[in-house]
A and B are shown apart, each in its own frame.
Chain A
Amino acid sequence: MNTASPLSFEKSMELFKRASRVVPGGIFGHTTPAMLVPGAFPYYAIGGEGCRYRDPDGNEYLDYLCGYGPNILGYRHEEVDEAAREAESGGRCFNHPAPIMVELAEFLVDRVDFAEWVVFGKNGSDMTTWAVSVAREKTGRKKVLRARESYHGVDPWCTPGQGGVISEDRAHVHTFDWNDPESLEAWFKKHPNEIAAVILTPVHQPLFKAAQLPGEGFFAAVRKVCDRYGALLILDDIRAGFRLHEKGSHAYLGVSPDIICFCKALANGYSISAALGTEDLRRTSERVFLTGSYWNNPGPMAAALTCLKVIQRDDVTAKIQALGDALANGLAEKAGEYGFSFECTGPTSMPYFVFADDPDQYLNQRFCAGLIQKGIFLHPHHNGFLSGAHTGEDINLTVAAAGEVWDEMRSEKRP
């Protein structure tokens, strides 16, 4: 961890200047500097191990983002990487899938109790959009309900971006309030035979805002409403998958969806996503065309199989929850010593930290910009992620560093 002179991001900036000439935005998508505190964070990464990574300027960071979630075991987990290397030792992209696909499919179907089949893709969006299509095909209906400010990917029906979206893309996609079954049912009452599916994440994580856990009985109520009106329940477990429960968040919620979507932590950073569904949807799922040139590559599939086995073997889900608790409690206590109110919202294994009375994120931006100078990466606007590579010592280091930043902040003039 860097604690001496201020960190320089010169090489990051040089790269970014070059990129700005040939890439729209310089860096597009969720890793754009515009999502962080521009100029106060590195813009590029060159390598990592465990829970740390390095930037082109030679700075190293204790990381609480895990590549935006995938690296549940930490960067460059040897067993996972070895499995991927072995699987692709004979080549990568053939005319057919490799046998590992069968192994992984069997493992997942066995693991996810309500599911009888699985399909694979590359990104979360591939699966959520496909799942919505399956629901429409199954029910013959058009409408889809989602929680307001939820995130389900980047396709026109749900992208958080505004550009290129026309009203027709969203004409049959409607929002209701998270944790409010009545606002959900109101849509069904208004359109009793028109709703194909309800799609939900297990935890509500609106961007730039506090996360919200499901209220008691919320998902049970959602399941009941879906059953009553003949709509499918799709659980978007892309972000939370295997972080709330090692078998998937449906097990944490105690409610079985009709389709569950996984990505991120599925393969510890290798690109693969999956959707699993009930037997009742098997034939329907075949009718909804799904494919991609690289989707059958064996490396990510082998990585996923090994990752899931390691999660189970090493009790990673429980470990990251315990570490998350320690981090949340430690930071809250330390913040209080300096006169700040700083709390974890959402599950501690995927914490989103907020200051009291900071709706516009000024304090959070200052705090995270200060923390990065101590060699600790905490995203100011996105929930963090713990990994199996974090240790209690890392938590202690983080809390101590946070205290140093709060010590600086309390003497600064605040408007």
Chain B
Amino acid sequence: MTSNEIHPLAIKAALYRQAVLGAVPVLFAHDPQLEEERGNWNFGLKFVTAGQESIGLQFGAGQAAWETSPQGKGAATLFFLSDRHLVGLFEQRKWAVPLFLPGPQTIRGLFHFARLAKRLDHLTNPKSSPDLNPTDRQVALRVLLEISLRGSVVLSERMPSLTKSFPSNREVFMELGVKSMGYSRFLSWNGRVLRMESGTEGHRPSVRLFFRNEEVALAALSERLDPQAAVGLGDIEMEGFFPLADALNGVLSRLSLYLRPI
């Protein structure tokens, strides 16, 4: 490994911090199982790894927020000695138990988070998808799409070699969505890295990729779909600058190398 390459463990840890934890607010906002209790959750969690960026999840007022370098004092802290320990926790290695630094509502907060984690695991596990009811399927899709797009941002930042196919001379927006849900998310490429976007600032996306329905989207995001065949069949609708779709696929297809099957 050259000095320019980042250790796979560091990439995994970044993906868990930014992509998987980053998707928790999406799960919290849309999971019907939380509908009645959403408003009662009031706690914070910090994920701190020695020498790395801290991540915070704040639950309150019916909403959840993910943030980097959280400043709030009223949060319970899970402290990891290294990326290896953080990854171990997410990959359910029994030895990977973080150190706890309690805050208000620690026990209740950890209990809630453990439930959320279990729910996240269930919804994102490809083995579960055939049995998901329609509502859960839509939640799973929102979460998987969030993880995928956030993950692509992480990979673009840490593995520039994956982004060589993106255009070097212009900023572009990309739209990915599920046609049957009328739901889409946006990414931008600024010549160096990918970024999550809330919209396209009024510009037409340079490429638009839409899965025909939830079933197709779930299969694609769980790597159970042949994407090129799906395009030919019309299960994935594509218009605009096709090389961008190909470039993005090149990044997204790497996620499963680092994350447990999602």
Contacts and interface: CB of A to CB of B under 8 A. Distances in A.
B226 interface: yes
A35 interface: yes
A26 B238 contact: no
Contact of B243 (A20, A32, A167, A208): A208
Contacts of B247: 162
A381 interface: yes
Contact of A17 (B165, B233, B243, B250): B233
Interface in A350-368: 359-362, 365
A38 B238 contact: yes
Interface string A31-43: 0111101110001
B229 A38 contact: no
B73 interface: no
Contacts of B164: 162
B170 A359 contact: yes
Given A25-B232, A33-B231, A33-B232, A360 B241 contact: yes
A91 to B, nearest CB: 38
B226 A26 contact: yes
Contacts of A6: none
A25 B228 contact: yes
A359 B171 CA distance: 12
Contact of A207 (B172, B206, B243): B243
Contacts of B231: 32-34, 38
A208 B228 CA distance: 18
Interface in A32-65: 32-35, 37-39, 43
Given A34-B228, A34-B238, A362-B239, A26 B204 contact: no
A289 interface: no
A32 B232 contact: yes
Contacts of A37: 239
B241 A24 contact: no
B242 interface: yes
B239 A16 contact: no
The SS class assigned to the A binding surface is loop
A381 B233 contact: no
A150 B232 CA distance: 26
Contact of A365 (B170, B206, B239, B243): B239
B32 interface: no
Given A25-B229, A32-B228, A34-B242, A360 B234 contact: no
A28 B228 contact: yes
Interface string A210-252: 0000000000000000000000000000000000000000000
A34 B206 CA distance: 16
Contacts of B170: 359
A415 interface: yes
The 3 closest A-B pairs by CB, nearest first: A25-B228, A33-B232, A26-B229
Given A25-B226, A26-B228, 18 more contacts: A13-B233, A16-B232, A16-B233, A20-B232, A24-B228, A24-B229, A33-B232, A34-B231, A34-B238, A38-B234, A39-B232, A162-B165, A207-B243, A208-B242, A208-B243, A359-B241, A360-B240, A362-B239
Interface of B: 161-162, 164-165, 170, 172, 204, 206-207, 226, 228-229, 231-234, 237-243, 246-247, 250
26 contacts: A16-B229, A19-B229, A20-B226, A20-B229, A24-B228, A24-B229, A25-B226, A25-B229, A26-B228, A32-B228, A32-B231, A34-B228, A37-B239, A38-B234, A39-B232, A39-B234, A162-B162, A162-B164, A162-B165, A162-B247, A163-B250, A359-B206, A360-B172, A360-B207, A365-B240, A415-B204
